[in-house]
Amino acid sequence: MARDLREFLNLLEQRGQLQRIKALVDSDLEIAEISNRMLQQGGPALLFENVKGSPHSIAINVMGTVERICWAMNMEQPQELEDLGKKLAMLQQPKPPKKVAQAIDFGKVLFDVVKAKPGRDFFPPCHQVVVEGEDLDLNQIPMIRPYCGDAGKIITLGLVITRDCETGTPNVGVYRLQLQSQNTMTVHWLSVRGGARHLRKAAEQGKKLEVAIALGVDPLIIMAAATPIPVDLSEWLFAGLYGGSGVKLAKCKTVDLEVPADSEFVLEGTITPGEVLPDGPFGDHMGYYGGVEDSPLIRFHCMTHRKDPIYLTTFSGRPPKEEAMMAIALNRIYTPILRQQVSEITDFFLPMEALSYKAAVISIDKAYPGQARRAALAFWSALPQFTYTKFVIVVDKSINIRDPRQVVWAITSKVDPVRDVFILPETPFDTLDFASEKIGLGGRMGIDATTKMPPETDHPWGDPLESDPDVAAMVDRRWAEYGLADLKLGEVDPNLFGYEM
């Protein structure tokens, strides 16, 4: 299994999923434009080896398909991600085993946790080159500027590592950072995130908050850091569970923090509580430019990196983008956890085009009236990451929730807007969502697209149209006899039905 960025890039190249670009390119706008065209087509990862004004290479679109994310997690199919979700669900809400087989399964999960414990590397590759003091110049890192309206250069796939000054517990998050000067950057994080909580605690004690930024890490660790599942395990243990073995960590040179030993770059610095600078605007996942916010300022005093480091980056925007591919993979991981939280849910899907979390389609095994509404309300409160989901569509378990044609049919054939649509007004909401009348406060809509039963309706529901089973079996037997054996019936091109995809 690939355990650092370089090994993973080698794996992609072996599988024909890496394109090396030797032509001179500009990290200002040009690289993002090239990458965006690749993302639209599900194209390969890109390694730019000749970046204007920098001796370092840039890797981008590395996680631009769900297939490559599966490879990063040592899997081949997205369905395998649900097995990982089952492990996390078992850890989140462990239940006394009723059978020997259940006890054995739980024992295996506990053993996986033991194997996932991080290790220590005393001669880490990330310390091969050390730059401190006045020699430090963040412009040496070939940061990109994705959109012409962006305020400056950014870091997007950096692991931002902080520590709780009371408990000593570290937090690893993935937050956007904006270059402000040769040794300062602002960090943009929501107030509910771990780094923001650590900064508030440091402020209460009158201390500076130490920060380390690890760039160019194993993509598997990025997936672990981006998984906001409420299990009391560190992101390093998550990464170990994801990968099947512990992450090798190294102590920073100047701050009391640990980073992945194989990081390509490591930045070390501090935040003085209350010291802020304007951050933004930047293109964000909603498909618009975000606003300008005063954000904490990080002052860096040390940078370490590997010899000939590779800078890993990405950018946000209207899907498809790498963050949307990550969300699809996380969707699979969440599914077993959600089923455990809301027992009637059989499956759920967060469509990429709905910004990966703004709309959810859930299927239920409906047993009683009003159950669809109950399931929608339970979904919104099941996990923190569903707090900002605007639309929840509930369908019967017979509907393939990943087929938009089936979902649209269910809505149009089973929904009476007066009876089956309900709205929750003025709930806490995403500040990046400009559709809300009041920023930070918005409504939610639930749509019951299930088959109705009394007393939801007072008239009989029509029977669904189905083929006669005997005739269908006969046609199967005689298919070749009709002279149709060479016609393979399977997935149909949606463009044949008026779509433009």
Catalytic residue among 150, 284, 347, 430: 284
Structure tokens at 212: 């380390």
C-alpha distances in Å from residue 402, one per residue of 408, 445, 494: 11, 20, 14
Classify the C-alpha dihedral 337-343-345-346 as positive or negative. Answer: positive
Distance CA 446, CA 449 (A): 10
Distance CA 142, CA 411 (A): 48
Structure tokens at 321: 């983008």
Check if 284 is active-site.
yes
- Residue 421's CB is within 10 A of a number of other CB atoms, namely 14
Q: Do the bridges between strand 119-120 and strand 248-251 make them parallel or antiparallel, or are there none, so unpaired?
A: parallel
CA dihedral of residues 234, 235, 240, 243 (deg, nearest 10):
160
Which residue has tokens 């046609």?
475
Structure tokens at 346: 């059989």
- Kindly tell me the number of DSSP H helices and DSSP E strands found in the chain: 13, 21
Which residues have C-beta within 8 Å of that of residue 381, sequence separation ≥ 6? none
Structure tokens at 429: 């909401």
Asked if residues 177 and 301 have their Cβ atoms less than 8 Å apart, the reply is: no
Q: What are phi and psi of 115, to 5 degrees?
A: -65, -25
Active-site positions read 284
